[in-house]
Amino acid sequence: MGRVTVWTKQHENVVKILEQEGRYTAKAEFVRRDMDDHNQLVLQCYNWLVANTPALPQKPQDADYPIWVSMKQDATMKLTPHSVVLEIELDEERITKINVEKWSAMLNYSYIGADKADKQRHRELLELYGTNDVKAFSTAFYPQIKKEITDSWHRLFDESVTISGNDNYYGNIWEVRKEWVKRIIR
């Protein structure tokens, strides 16, 4: 694997941290603040991601959460007040690829089916219990369905499993080093 260029939108203070410390890692307090009112439910997905990522052995002790990167510049989140986009060049093996559709399914507390038959089987199970993924995940009434949902999330890292044929990816990295930054877009 070689070197690749990726982009990440960050708060402008990240540039100051890079200048002062030479590297940046995502801290829990900043992630929680960025998520506003949704943080408890969304953090369940983020905590699952941290605990189950194949890149866990690479995680520095001071990194609470991964840093999201875009694999294509035009897929980078748009600038907002007090934000910057960092253009980064790094070794490709430092990036954990995350399928956009599967991550969206997780953020919606949905089951990621192995194939069409498995998705159908899960839908029939939900109908049998008169529930849906969100209700099963967020209440205490369906623990076995919630476990099935969270167990299915391991397919996030299985590139052979797709949702509607989508092959768009984000990336996760554990840190940004100052020497990796090739350009700061303001």
Whether 83 shows a pLDDT value over 70: the answer reads: yes
pTM over 0.85: yes
Residue 166 backbone class (left: φ over 0; alpha: ψ -120 to 50; beta: rest): beta
Residue with tokens 């369940």: 44
Spatial CA neighbour of 110 closest among 86, 85, 135: 135
- 173 and 67 Cβ atoms separated by less than 8 Å: yes
Q: pLDDT tens across 167-184, in order?
A: 899 999 999 999 999 999
For the residues 109-114, what does the mean pLDDT come to?
A: 97
CB 109 within 8 A of CB 29: no
How high is the pLDDT of residue 101? 95
Percent helix, strand and coil across the chain, each to the nearest 5: 50, 25, 30
Pairing of strands 3-11, 96-99: unpaired
What sign has the CA pseudo-torsion 177, 90, 66, 169?
Answer: positive
164 CB-contact burial (10 Å; exposed 0-12 / middle 13-18 / buried 19+)? exposed
Q: Please give the Cα distance from 179 to 107 (Å, whole number).
A: 33
Q: Where are the domains of the chain?
A: 3-185
Q: Are strands 181-185 and 3-11 parallel, antiparallel or unpaired?
A: unpaired
Query: What is the pLDDT at residue 31?
Result: 73
**If you ran DSSP here, which 8-state letter would residue 55 be given?**
T
Mean pLDDT of the chain: 94
For position 109, what pLDDT does the model report?
95
